[in-house]
């Protein structure tokens, strides 16, 4: 078996989510933070949702589908966008 770090993002995410108690958000944060993957977009992250609402001038926090759509414009560097948005969240 390859280590999770050697797998592509989707396969690594599925392997991580096969561990009891690990969901999509936790797997994405692991890929983004621990493995330094450049294109991970943790849909549903509360701080990112608040920052997206603020930066994009939305009346409500984006739902999962809107979150995905908004992240598309930053592909293949969505991890960098997430870091910038987290900074925005923490700076407000």
Each residue of 7-22: pLDDT tens digit? Answer: 999 999 999 999 999 9
What pLDDT score was predicted for residue 1?
53
Each residue of 43-92: pLDDT tens digit? Answer: 999 999 999 999 999 999 999 999 999 999 999 999 999 999 999 999 98
What pLDDT score was predicted for residue 2?
75
Residues 57 and 43: their CA atoms lie apart, in Å, by 18
Q: Supply 81's token pair.
A: 């966008």
Domain boundaries, the chain: 4-34, 46-91
What pLDDT score was predicted for residue 72?
97
Q: Supply 53's token pair.
A: 């609402």
Q: Supply 85's token pair.
A: 């948005």
Q: Across residues 20-48, what is the average pLDDT?
A: 97
């Amino acid at each position: 078996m390859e280590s999770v770090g050697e797998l592509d993002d989707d396969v690594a995410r599925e392997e991580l989510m096969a561990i009891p108690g690990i969901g999509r958000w936790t797997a994405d944060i692991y890929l983004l933070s621990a493995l330094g993957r450049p294109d991970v977009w943790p849909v549903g992250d509360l701080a990112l949702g608040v920052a997206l609402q603020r930066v994009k001038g939305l009346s409500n926090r984006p739902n999962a589908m809107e979150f995905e759509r908004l992240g598309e414009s930053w592909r293949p560097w969505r991890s960098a966008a997430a870091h910038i948005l987290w900074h925005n969240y923490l700076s407000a």
